[in-house]
Structure 1
Amino acid sequence: MNRPRGCPGLLAKTAIAPLDRVKILFQASNPEYRKYSGRWLGFLQAGRQIVQQQGIMGLFQGHSATLLRIFPYATVKYMAYDFFHMALMPTPKDETSARLFLAGSMSGVLSVFLTYPLDLVRVRLAFDTKSKPQPGSLYQIVRKIYHEGIEVSTDGTSPRNLLLNRFPLLKFYRGFVATLMGMVPYAGTSFLVFGHTKSFMYRLLLNQDTHGQPLSPEPPYIRVSRTTVDLAAGALAGAISQTASYPFEVVRRRLQVGGILHPERLMRFTETAAWIYRTNGISGFYIGLGIGYLKVVPMTAISFAVWSAMKRSLGV
C-alpha cells in the first residue's frame, strides 16, 4: 500500500537534483555563489562553476541524503493525506477548501517532522563547495553536526552544560520552526489547489469525476489522458504553493547552515529573518524563486501524476 506513495517523490527529486543544489546555495547565501543569484540565467553560471570545482557529480552533492529522505517523506505525506482526507471528508459532499487545506497541512507537518534530520544533512552537504563528493561524506557530515558546539576543555573537566550539549539531537532540528511555518501553507495549498484543479479539469475536459466515472453520456470535450490532466493540476499546485511558502523556505535554509556560523547555539527565526531583511530587503526572501519554480513545478506535477496513476493501477 505504501509503494504508490513513495515512488513519486523518488522520481521527481532525481529529475531536479541539480536545480535543488543551486537553489540551496542561493538561499543559504553561500559567499562563492551569491553573485549569481540576481543574474538572468544565473543558475546556469552557478552550475558551470560547480562542475569546474567539483566535477559533474557536484551537481548531485547531497542527493544521497535526499534519496534516503524522500521515500519515507513522500510515503508518510501521501499516506497521511489519504488518512486525513478519509477522516475529515468521508464522502465527496464533505469536501471543503478548509478541510482539504487542513488535511494537506497535517500530512505535510507529520512527514517533515519524521524526516527533518535528513533534510538538514542534505542542505549541509549541498552547501559545501570546498570538497568533491566522496564515499563516507554522508557519515562525516552527520558526525560533524552531532559534535557541533561541544567545548573541549584543557583541564580534563566536562564542557559547560549547554542545551545543545545536553540534547545533541536538537542540532539536527535547526530551522525546524521555520519549516513548520512554511509547511502549513506549502502542503495545505498544494493539496488544496491540486484537488480543486483536478476536479474542475476532469469535469471540463474529460466529463468525469476524479475517480474516472462518467458524469453524463456526452463524449469528452477534448481527447486527453487523465495523466496529462494530473500533470497540469500538479504543476499549478506546485507554482502556487511555492509562492505562498517561499519566504519561510529561505529563512529555513539560513537557519540550517547557521550551525556553521554559530555552532554553539540555535539561531532564532526572528533573528535570521531580520538579518535577511537588513542585507537584502524584501527581495532577500525571494532569492532563487525562479529556480524554485523550475524545480518545484515539474517535481510537483510528476509527483502528483505518478501518485494518482499508481493509485489507479493498484486500485487504491
Structure 2
Amino acid sequence: MSPNESSNRDKQSLHYIVRSGLAGGFAGCVAKTAVAPLDRVKILFQASNPEFQKYAGRWSGVFRAGADIYRDAGVRGLMQGHSATLLRIFPYAAIKFMAYDQIEHILMPRREDQTNGRRFLAGSLSGITSVFCTYPLDLIRVRMAVHTKSSKTSLSSKPPTFRQSFSEIYHERALPTAAPVEALSSKTLFDRIPILKFYRGFTVTVVGMVPYAGISFLCWGYLRAKLIPPDRRASTLQDLGFGAISGAIAQTSSYPFEIVRRRMQVGGLRHPERWAGWRETVQAVYQTGGLRGFYVGLSIGYLKIVPMTAISYALWQWGKRVLDV
C-alpha cells in the first residue's frame, strides 16, 4: 500500500472523523465564548431592537450598547443566550470541520487536485451540513439573546431560559379562522409539522451560508497553499492570520443574508401567526434603513468574526495535532 493510500484510509477512519470533530467543536466553543458579548449586541442591532437602534451605525455605538447592557444586567446580560450558543456551537463546529475534512478528502485527495472552485464547494457543503443539523438551536439562541427589559412576550419580563424559548416557539399559533387564506395554510403546515417553527429563516441562512462558508474555507485553503511550503506545517500564529483574513472577507460577502435571517428568526415574536417570507423581510429592512439597513452591525461583525474565525481555525488545527490526527 502506498503512503497516499494509507493516508486516505486514515482520513476516512472513525478515529480520524471523531477526533477531527472533537477538535472542531472545542475550537468553536472557545472562539464563540471569546466574542459572546459582541454577539449579543450584534443580534440586538440586526433585529432592530428599539432600545438599541440609537446606537446602530457607529463604532462607538457598539461599546455604548455594551455598557448599557452591563449597567442593567451585568456580565450575565452580556452573556445572555450564550448557554444556548454553546449547546449549538459544539455540534455546529464539530460537524462543519469534520464535514470539511471528509469533503476535502473526496474532492481534493492530493495537493495537485486543489483548486479554488473545489475549496469553495467543500466549504459551502460543510457549512450547509452543519447548519441543517443545528439550526433549531440557533433560533432558540437568537430568541434568548434578543430579549431586553422592554420586550413584550407572553412569558415574562425576565430573560427567557432555553426551555422557555423552546416552549414559546413550539406553541406559536396561527390566526383564528377569520385570517387570510395564506395565514390559514401556514397554520395548517405549522400544526401538522411543528418542527418547521424552529426553521424560521432557514432558507436565507442556507443561501447566506454558501458564500460565507465557501469563501471562508476557500481563502483559508488558498493562503495556506500559497504561503506554506508542501513539506512544512503551518504554525498556530499563521493559522490565526489566515483565519482572520478569511473571516473578514467571508463576513463582508454574506452579511446582507445574515441581516435578513435575523429578522426572519425574530419574526415569530412580532408575527407568530405566520411565516415571514424573503420578499416581505427584505422590503422591511430596506424601508427602515435603505441599503445601509443590510449592513447594520457590520462593524461589530468584523470585531466579532475576525477574531472568532482566527481562533476557530487555529484551535481546530492545534486540536488535531494534539489528538494525533
- Relative to the length of structure 2, the TM-score reads 0.86
Name which of 286, 289, 311 aligns with 2:320: 311
Equivalenced residues, count: 291
Amino acid at match of 1:140: Q
Over residues 190-244 of structure 1, what are the superposed CA-to-partner deviations in whole Å (9 max), with x where a residue is unaligned?
Answer: 0000011122222xxxxx32x626xxxxxxxxxxx71111100000000000001
Q: How does 1:259-270 map to 2 (within 5 A)?
A: 259-270=268-279
How far off its partner does 1:41 sit? 1.0
Whether 1:289 and 2:298 are equivalent positions in the alignment is yes
Q: Show structure 2 runs of 5+ residues with no match.
A: 1-18, 150-156, 178-183
Q: Secondary structure at the match of 1:186?
A: helix
Aligned residue among 162, 165, 169 for 1:145 = 169
After TM superposition, list the pairs within 5 Å mapping 1:25-174 onto structure 2.
25-130=44-149, 131-133=157-159, 137-149=161-173, 162-174=188-200
- 8 Å Cα contact 2:147-2:159 kept in structure 1: no
SS at 2:241 equivalent:
helix
**Aligned-pair CA distance for 1:261:** 1.0
Cα deviations by residue, 1:18-45 (Å, 9 ceiling, x for unpaired)? 0000000000000110110023310111
Given the alignment of the two structures, is residue 178 of structure 1 paired with residue 198 of structure 2, yes or no? no
SS of the residue 2:276 aligns to: coil
Q: Is the 8 A contact 2:208 2:257 kept in 1?
A: yes
- How far apart, CA to CA, are the structure 2 residues paired with 1:28 and 1:115? 20
Question: Shift of residue 188 of structure 1?
Answer: 0.3
Supply the AA of the counterpart residue of 1:148. Answer: E
Structure 2: how far apart are the matches of 1:127 and 1:46?
A: 13
Q: Within 5 Å, give how 1:168-207 maps onto structure 2.
A: 168-202=194-228
SS across alignment from 2:121: helix
Distance 1:44 1:132 in 2: 23
Greater helix proportion: 2
Moved over 3 A (4+): 131-134, 150-153
Q: Partners of 1:278 and 1:151 in 2: how far apart?
A: 26
Q: 1:271 offset after TM fit, Å? A: 1.1
Q: Pick closer, same or farther for the CA change 1:133–1:278 going to 2, 3 Å.
A: closer
Partner of 2:15: none
Q: Is the Cα–Cα contact under 8 Å of residues 76 and 107 in structure 1 kept in the other structure?
A: yes
1:52 deviates by 2.4
**Do the aligned partners of 2:148 and 2:159 also contact (CA within 8 Å) in 1?**
no
- Partner Cα distance (1:50, 1:303) in 2: 27
Aligned-partner Cα distance in 2 for 1:132–1:162: 32
Q: Which runs of 5+ in 1 are unaligned?
A: 154-159, 203-207, 214-224
